[in-house]
Amino acid sequence: MPHLQFEINKQVENSVKNTFANEIRAAFAEIMDTGTDHIAISIREYSKYNLTIGRAKPEDDICLMNLDIREGRTIKQRRELALRYMNIVKNNFNVETKNQYITFTQHPGEDFHLVEKYLASWETGEDPLAD
């Protein structure tokens, strides 16, 4: 169950957040070759000066992303996802790509739990909630 966390230093309309979450979920499923029902997304809004990146100006919009995913995805998949997410953030939240930063943390499937079960290790073309 990936937990995809987005921290931004601005307020965003709920309708924009809804569109954003749908695009994030669809991109993850496509690139990581999995279903969507197990994807968790957090959007955290902070005031302007509560997030920084060394190369950004203090008044710039910033987006920090922490992506907790299951082990097994290739660097090619992770890089494709990172670049796609940067564009989704830019298009929805108007944060320039140079002011975005992504960290992937990989876990074994057994670290992810839903009420039905814990997840197995990732496999190509899977539906992790299927029996």
Confidence grade of residue 110 (pLDDT, cut at 50, 70, 90)? confident
Residue 117: is it exposed, middle or buried by C-beta count within 10 angstroms (0-12/13-18/19+)?
Answer: exposed
Determine the pLDDT at residue 130. Answer: 52
Superfamily classification of domain 3-111: Macrophage Migration Inhibitory Factor (3.30.429.10)
Determine the pLDDT at residue 38. Answer: 87
Task: Tell me the mean pLDDT in the region 88-115.
Answer: 90
pLDDT digits (tens, 9 = 90+) for 39-96: 999 999 999 999 999 999 999 999 999 999 989 999 999 999 999 999 999 999 999 9
